Chain A
Amino acid sequence: MMEFLGLYHYLVFPLLLMSGIYAVIAKRNLFKKLIGLALMQSAVFLLYITMAKVEGGTGPILKPGDEDVLYSNPLPEVLILTAIVVGISTAALGLGIIVRIKEEFGSVEEDVVRELGGR
């Protein structure tokens, strides 16, 4: 059962990643692009955390007394915590830029902005 689930996890990752990339490349609307970025990043988070899991393990918080408890890996968690924060920082900046673009150019559709001299 684990096998199938594992494979499924690994399979879902490229799908999510790709829906994100598709949004970033193919969609003209700037908001959609940012959303695509967010999707991409979350997919990567899933990848990292999936590799952290140990079958039969539990969260990496030591409980007093138990000597033989199997723990899942704490390191990817740490990395992803950082990555999540980086992700939202980028998104916040991106949103700020979108707001300014709207104010200066009157639109958040890429080709309209391009025609208005944004190139």
Chain B
Amino acid sequence: MLTAPLVMLLRPRRLAWAATTAASLCAFAIALSLTAAVLAGGRPHYEMGSWAAPYGIELVVDPFNALILLLVTGASSVALLAGARSIDSQIEDERQPLFYAAWLLALSGLAGIAVTGDAFNVFVFMEISSLASYVLVAGGPDRRALPAVFKYLVMGTIGATFYLIGIGLIYMMTGTLNLADMAERVGQVSDLRPVLVAAGFVTTGLALKAAVFPLHLWLPNAYTYAPHMVTAFLAACATKVSLYVLIRFDFMVFQPNLAEHGLQFALFLMPLALLALLVSSGVALFERNLKRLLAWSSVAQIGYMTLGVSLLTATGVTAGILHMFNHALAKGALFLAVAALAAGCGGVRLEQIRGAGRRMPWTMGAFVLAGLSLVGVPGTAGFVSKWYLLSAAIATEGHGAALAAVIVVTSLMALAYIWRVIEAAYFEEPAATGTTESKTGEAPVMLVAAAWLAALANIFFGLSPDVPLALAGQGADILLGYSP
């Protein structure tokens, strides 16, 4: 975070990129070491200014947020390493230092949310990352990004404001802002009505930021018109962080203390998750713009995550958390591949990428692999989370079968929309030459390499998912452990 002001002052664009990437990699290294500590059973925590909580702000790391932290720093690092050329092609030189500064700010904002244990601190860092993301999304050459980002700003700010109302109400009833402290004290509150209302506001606010259906309206356009690397970075992690806060809040503070809140939570979120899945996958089927197709797919995937969590069982919650990780891998890879396609084919519409399979075999290869993971083909990471999800769904009494059916159907839909892309790339002839300069050959090496790295990661974690699974599982246990 501290590097950001420095970067801004650095004029030469190469230097700005280098500094940003270095900082991002450092952050990733730190995330790795924290994860290792957590897996060994530790629970690192750190008091800011040496003031003990709840008087001061403390940082806490446990398996759940270690996973998120890994995601965020990893996504940022990969996108940065891969994307220098892509960014060059979309953003003017003079503005690049500012762009990178904003990137760093977004990274630090998201990371800050992941590790803090104080509710208001979440708000502050949430706004840092949000404001920075507005800047990043608006940075590209496509002017349609501007209304998209305005809508994103408005909805995001409403979300933040609702969240603020929610924690204000909780503070009013408990006198504390520290999450752990809150969890304890909410139980002692005399009259729970404001807390219930608070739960509503916090949930709605965070749901807006996490693009939970039907509050997802800002996402498709924002992701489509943003610069390609920005989409890769944000799609991999931004919404997941808000979802993380939502889940953490709900399981830690609300469920143990509000009678039957668990049920309300499930009843409320589950139908929304299902709707998200069905509607978004449906829309994605008809999209002709690759980025928008993938963006709608993201909304659907968030539906999977919410579905998993709303099942309230160990398997279900593990599935939800695991899917956060897997989706980041898959979508990140997909968007990286799309960025490469954009460089190689001059655009991201289906018509423009025809024949890309032959001209850019490596890029499309990565796309296919990642796509398979998205669908959940055995051997890929996506399969693991889908499997857990299915198991959890089937185990649910009553409508378990229906849930499972939806999961399967939407996975097939995912297969369908991925297939459309594959079809265009491999089985169709390129458009008649003469319109655009015929771009030959592959996209910049770093970009393709990164896409492959991410795609292969999908396979790797598909075949040996121990680490993410452990983190997710432990995380789920902790979350469920809050309830009496």
Contact = CB atoms under 8 A, between A and B. Distances in A.
Verify whether A and B have any Cβ pair under 8 Å: yes
Interface of A: 17, 21, 24, 30, 33-34, 37, 40-41, 44, 47-48, 51, 76, 79, 82-83, 86, 89-90, 93-94, 97-98, 100-101, 104-105, 110, 113-114, 117-119
Interface string B155-190: 001101100110010011000000000000000000
Contacts of B158: 21, 24, 37, 40
B147 A114 contact: yes
Contacts of A100: 138, 146
Interface stretch (B28-36, B127-135, B441-449): B127-135
A2 B154 CA distance: 36
A76 B120 CA distance: 11
Contact of A104 (B143, B160, B161, B172): B143
B172 A51 contact: yes
Contacts of A79: 120
B336 to A, nearest CB: 25
Given A21-B158, A86-B127, A101-B147, A44 B168 contact: yes
B153 A97 contact: yes
23 contacts: A24-B154, A30-B150, A37-B158, A40-B158, A40-B161, A41-B161, A44-B165, A44-B168, A76-B171, A82-B120, A83-B164, A86-B123, A89-B127, A89-B131, A93-B153, A94-B154, A101-B150, A105-B143, A114-B147, A117-B144, A118-B144, A119-B144, A119-B147
Contacts of A94: 150, 153-154
Contacts of B171: 48, 51, 76
Contacts of A37: 154, 157-158, 161
Contact of A119 (B123, B131, B149, B221): B221
Interface residues of B, number: 27
B124 interface: yes
Interface in B295-312: none
A90 B124 contact: no
A17 B138 CA distance: 28
A97 B138 contact: yes
A86 B138 CA distance: 19
Given A82-B124, A90-B153, A97 B146 contact: yes
A44 B164 contact: yes
Contact of B135 (A47, A83, A93, A101): A93
9 nearest A-B pairs in the assembled complex, by CB-CB distance: A118-B147, A104-B143, A86-B127, A101-B146, A51-B172, A97-B150, A113-B147, A37-B157, A48-B168
A104 B147 CA distance: 10
A48 to B, nearest CB: 5
Nearest to A30: B150
Contact of A93 (B131, B144, B148, B164): B131
B8 to A, nearest CB: 16
Contacts of A93: 131, 134-135, 153
Interface in B234-264: none
Contacts of A51: 168, 171-172
Contacts of A105: 143, 146-147
Contact of A97 (B124, B149, B164, B165): B149
A94 B172 CA distance: 31
Nearest to B172: A51
B308 to A, nearest CB: 31
Contacts of A114: 147
Contacts of A33: 154
Contacts of B123: 83, 86
Contacts of B124: 82, 86
Contacts of A40: 158, 161
A118 B161 contact: no
A100 B149 CA distance: 11
A117 to B, nearest CB: 6
A94 B120 CA distance: 23
A44 B161 contact: yes
A49 B131 CA distance: 25
